Amino acid sequence: MVVIGVVIAVVATGNGHKKEATAAKVVVTTTTAAPAPTCPLTGTPAPGGTVPARPALGVKIGNYPGDRPSAGLNQADIVFEEPVEGAITRLLAVFQCQTSPLVGDLRSAREPDAGIMSQFSHPLFAHAGGIDPVIALMQASPLTDLNLLDGADESAIIVQPGRVPPYADFADTASLWALDPTDTTPPAPIFSYSTSLPKGSVAGSGASVHIPFSSTSDVTWQWSATTGTYLRSYSGQPDMLLGGSQTAAADVVIMTVPTATGPWVENSEGGHEVDVTATGTGPLVVMRNGVAITGTWTRAVLTQPATLTTTGGAPITLAPGNSWVELVPVGIPVTPTASAPAPTGTATTKAS
């Protein structure tokens, strides 16, 4: 904002009359407007110009075929896909700036959730139960554990008509935040954002990426220039959400991570928990704006997010908007391409 003031000099004459001088003094005052607040987990303008006074909220969501269609994924700021027992995956949707009247379906906690949620300052984590060792791990982590199958927290569950257990439990984000109204501190960002592509990006190099977690989660993300987002499919079929929209993301961050079969038995079939090594370093592919950027992720401690760098060591920024983080076990190929994928996909179930 620039304010200009003009000062007219006045000269008195000998006969008592006043005469305007020919010279004028111009005073220029410059005021710099403060930058508009942005959402910490998306880099987009904060709703109404104010970041909501609430923490990050993680919600555990199923991803077996019986769990689909899901709800609320496009309203989440960040969604994580993690490997669990039986070569299936589950989702952890994190909300802060955005809300959703329906999120789910709600499923039980797993070992990787502690490592994911610990980077969001002091977040809330909502889930539908879990085995005793996992519940103990959540309660020992820097998060507020909201086990929605335990006590008063059950009031937040919405039973979705037409669904059968264990796929029927949903929630809304407002009710989940209300379970801990004293926490009003937003999280720090875990990514950096820019509308400019990192140097060296190759236009069109990231039209799609294929991640064959397993036969039940054979994932493809396809860039849509029309929507300016990546659209998600399973085995060549669009991943449609409750309400009829396709799952979409401005950014897809793919981290290859070490995994191991954990000591805890997770189900009646004898399947063991999958442990994910959340710290250290590993291969990285970032998909944004139709471009694939390869590099490295590095994370020193659980309470801090990973840094993302190109193969040349330069920081990788994301496009402002929602993002998905794919935690891919070592050995599963990550294949970005400059062309659209084939109409159908196949996958072989892999052990994590």
Q: For 46-58, how does the pLDDT look when each residue is reduced to its tens digit (9 = 90+)?
A: 999 999 999 999 9
Q: For 117-136, how does the pLDDT look when each residue is reduced to its tens digit (9 = 90+)?
A: 999 989 999 999 999 999 99
Contact 214, 84 (CB under 8 A): no
> Is residue 212 domain-resident?
yes
Contact 275, 84 (CB under 8 A): no
Q: For 152-205, how does the pLDDT look when each residue is reduced to its tens digit (9 = 90+)?
A: 778 899 999 999 999 999 999 999 999 999 999 999 999 999 998 887 777 778
What is the rounded average pLDDT of the residues 82-104? 94
> Is residue 235 domain-resident?
yes
> Is residue 291 domain-resident?
yes
Question: Domain with 61 in it: what CATH number?
Answer: 3.50.90.10
Question: Is residue 10 pLDDT above 50, yes or no?
Answer: no
Instruction: Report the number of distinct structural domains present in the chain.
Output: 1
φ, ψ (nearest 5 deg) of residue 309: -135, 150
> Is residue 186 domain-resident?
yes
Total-model pTM:
0.86
> Is residue 208 domain-resident?
yes
> Is residue 227 domain-resident?
yes
Please report which residue ranges of 17-131 form alpha helices under DSSP H.
112-117
Q: Is the dihedral of CA 122, 127, 129, 130 positive or negative?
A: negative
Nearest to residue 127, comparing CAs of 297, 288, 119, 116? 116
Percent of the chain residues topping a pLDDT of 70: 86
Could you tell me the two tokens for 198?
């990192």
> Is residue 274 domain-resident?
yes
What confidence score (pLDDT) does residue 24 get? 53
Buried b (16+ CB within 10 A) or exposed e, 210-242: bbbbbbbbbbbbbbeeeeebbbbbbeeeebebb
